[in-house]
Structure 1
Amino acid sequence: MDQDNTIAVQALDSAKSAHHRLDRLEDEVKDIHDLAAAMAATRQEMSGVQADIREIKQSVSKLTARPGIWWDKLAAAAIGAAATGIVAAILAQIL
């Protein structure tokens, strides 16, 4: 009978130990679940940030292209003025 009692005590201790480990695992699984939810939220925020960065890059590209466009317009105006002057001088010689 003493051996049966020892086996029962060992089985009870083993069950308590298993329950204790399961309780710890439940906490760890909950923490992992919370971490996965936080990662999903972070991924969504990163997508928003990437869209904002693309928009900022486009705005900066437009701003940096402006001086080049102004120089092109100035060169076209200068060429147009020179051509107009040459045509006017030729017409003045003819007339």
Structure 2
Amino acid sequence: MIPDAPAPELLVTLDMTGKVADYRRTTELERAERAALDQGTTVWRGQGYTLRVSAVSAVHRQLLACCQPLDGGQGIPAVTAQRKARREYQNRVGTLAP
């Protein structure tokens, strides 16, 4: 073991609402983001679903950053349910250490 080598970053499992997951699947993704979404576990809840995603915190932050259009702007109308879904995921990602 190399004493000065940084510890490998641990995987963090967060639930991503289906609305956010659906949006992310329609956009351009990095390889790590695509792998995280493809390996996620779908949990059905009432009328929708949640995608349980395991990835390092940096990938969760990248996934969240690309969801900004769900808040509206740039010619895209804001949909209340999508804004709420993005905020929920933002709150979950916000609990991760930097």
Into which bin does the TM-score normalised by the smaller protein fall? under 0.3
Give the alignment's TM-score, normalised by structure 1.
Answer: 0.22
Structure number having the greater helix percentage: 1
Larger radius of gyration: 1
Give the alignment's TM-score, normalised by structure 2.
Answer: 0.21
